Chain A
């Protein structure tokens, strides 16, 4: 079974620039998550999708972050414009509905300079 795929693995941008991350979940997984993990902290949930609908985006900074999941499969997370404090690893995860095991990708490490 192929895992959760994320790209790019690394990204360096200047503040105020835009950036997008892509996630391809495991086939058949209806639930998709985006997490932000700042160095030394645990992952923080940004947004949770069930198919292509948003279940929870309460911690997504909506003035600069956006996410979509077209057709209930792949997802993109965008930051526009980026700030220095957005430097973090962005993790995508997926799971079956009502299944308690989530599978994580390796993440995208974003550095904002």
Chain B
């Protein structure tokens, strides 16, 4: 399985944008890029996914580098409720196997 690399932790001020980076230099052409987040004492929840093009949904935006070797999850206006561990995951389409790393612990400063 292709691996991802994320910073262990990040901090951001409330109401400011947050850019969470993910490196995946060994990504294959059929790997989708997924982001999940896990709030304290909760199971992970889906945030967004993409293949090649940038993606937007109500929760966040996903910016994918042209060579697909890195991606960035963008939270446009962080709130205290966005404090969580964010996981960047690669999944070979059809495999449906989500392999989690250690993720990035995001702290929001009021």
A residues apposed to B, CB below 8 Å: 4, 31, 33, 35, 41-45, 48, 55-56, 91, 93, 95, 97-98, 100-107
Total residues of chain B contacting the partner, CB 8 A: 22
Given known pairs A98-B96, A104-B43, the reply for A42 and B101 (CB within 8 Å) is: yes
- Tell whether, in the assembled complex, residue A107 and residue B43 are in contact, meaning their CB atoms are under 8 Å apart: yes
Which residues of B sit under 8 angstroms from A55, Cβ to Cβ? 96
Contact string, B24-45, partner A, CB cutoff 8 A, digits 1/0? 0000000010100000011111
Question: Does B2 touch A at the CB level, under 8 Å?
Answer: no
Given known pairs A31-B96, A105-B43, the reply for A100 and B102 (CB within 8 Å) is: no
Interchain CA distance A102-B46 in the complex, whole Å: 7
Given known pairs A103-B46, A105-B43, A106-B42, the reply for A42 and B32 (CB within 8 Å) is: no
